[in-house]
Amino acid sequence: MENESGLPALGQQLVKWRRNFHQFPEVSRKEKRTAWMIVEALKEMGIEAETFSDHYGVCAVIKGSKPGPVVAFRADMDALPVAETNQVPYRSVNDGVMHACGHDGHMSIILGVAKMFFNVKETLTGTVKVIFQPAEEDAPRGGADLMLNEGILADADVIFGMHLWPDLPCGRIGIRKGPQMAASDRLTIKVFGHGAHAGQPQHGVDAITIAADVIQGIGHILTRQLDPLETATVSIGSIQGGERYNVIAREVTLYGTARTLGEEVRKELPVKIERMLKGIASSQGGDYDLSYQFGYPVLKNWEEPTNLVVAAARTVVGYTGVDTQIKPVLASEDFAKYLTQTPGAFFWLGCGRADQEACVLHSSDFDIDEDALLIGVRVMYQTGLAALEHYRRISN
C-alpha cells in the first residue's frame, strides 16, 4: 500500500515543514502560530482539523471507507526557552526560543503520516487520528492532560508516538517493552532557621547548614533506604538563601527533581524525604516545608503495540536497525499519560548526524539529520497499517 514513488517528494515536503516550524518556535501554551501552520498544512491535503478554545492543540481524523479500529498518532508542538547558536538558514527568528528537542520534526513526521493515510483512505478499514499536543515541556503539568480532557482518546484502540534521538545514528530505531522513560516529579524544600550575627552563631539557627545536611540526607536515602536494584535519582538544581555574608541565614529554598523507573519507589521517595527533613530540621532547632509535585508517570510501553512497532520498523530499516532492548533513560515524556489510559508504544528515532559530533537534546546547537524524517513517517505508516489489521482481527 505504500506509494514508494511518492516518497522523494514527501521527503522534500517534510524538510520544508520542519524548517518552517524550526524558524518560528513557540514555548509551551503559546503555540498559536504553530497550530495555525499545522491546520493550514492539513487543509492543503484536504484534511479538516479540529482546534480547541482553551489551548492550541490540534486533532484530525482520517476515516477509511469501512468502519474499524481507531489508531492514533501523537506529536508535541512546543519549543524551549533556549537561544539558538546554530548558523543555518532556518535558524530561529524568535530570540531566546528554539526547537531544541526535536518537536519541529515530530510535527512534520505526523503531518507526513496524515498525508500518506489520507492518500489511501479508500482502502482503509478503520480510522486514523493524528494528534498535535501543546505544552509537552511544561512539566510537571504537561499538555497531555489538555488533550485527554478533550476526550480525543475515548474511541482509540491504540496510540503511537516517537522522539527524535541524537544518541542514535540516523537509520536506527530504539524501543523496549515496559519502562523506557522515567517518571518526573518536582520538589521544593524550604528550610527555616533564625537570623543572627555571624560572630554570634549560637544565637541563631543556620538554615544553610540545615540545607547542607538535607542534601546529604537525600543522598543517604538513595543509597541506603531504597532497593539498590531500583532506579531512582534526586537532583537539587537550584539553591537560594541567605541575606548577607555576615548574617546567619534564616531561610533557604532548594529546588529539585526526582526521577524513577518504578511506581513503588516513586511513592516511597516523598515519604522518606519528609521523614528525613523532620529529623534534621528539628534536631537543629529549625523547621521546613516540603512541596512535592507528582508530574509525568513512568513511560511504559505495552507489549503488543511494541511488537507492532518493531515489526514495522524492521521492514523500513532492516532487522539489525532496530534495538529492542534499548537502555531506559531518566528523561521523561508526558506521552506516558496516554499510555496509562490506552494501549500504545513510544520509540526513539535515530537522528544523529555523521558530519558532526553528537549534540544533545535541549542544547543550543541541537540539530538533526533530516533523512530521519522520512524514515519516521515510513515506520509510523507501516505501524499504523499493521495496527489497523491487528485490532480489526482481534475485535472480530
Which run of H or E residues covers position 208?
helix 207-220
**Residue 351 in marked binding region:** no
**Residue 101 in marked binding region:** yes
**Residue 103 in marked binding region:** yes
Taking the CB of residue 11, how many other CB atoms lie within 10 A of it? 17
- What does the DSSP 8-state code read for residue 369? -
**Residues 207/212/215/219 CA torsion (nearest 10 deg):** -150
- Find out whether 142 and 200 touch, Cβ atoms under 8 Å: no
**Catalytic pick among 78, 213, 323, 333:** 78
Is 78 part of the annotated catalytic residue set?
yes
Place of cell 503559546: 30
**Catalytic pick among 76, 84, 104, 136:** 136
**Residue 99 in marked binding region:** no
The contacts of residue 343 (CB under 8 Å, 6+ apart) are: 157, 158, 159, 302, 304, 305
Q: Nearest Cα to 330, choosing from 262, 282, 272, 378? A: 262
Q: Nearest Cα to 269, choosing from 189, 181, 327? A: 189
Is 136 part of the annotated catalytic residue set?
yes
Q: Nearest Cα to 220, choosing from 292, 275, 150, 183? A: 275
- What does the DSSP 8-state code read for residue 247? B
**CA-to-CA distance for 299 and 180, rounded, in angstroms?**
6
**CA-to-CA distance for 359 and 86, rounded, in angstroms?**
11
- What does the DSSP 8-state code read for residue 145? H
**Residue 170 in marked binding region:** no
Binding-site annotation: residue ranges for Mn(2+): 101, 103, 137, 163, 362
What amino acid positions are annotated as catalytic residues?
78, 136
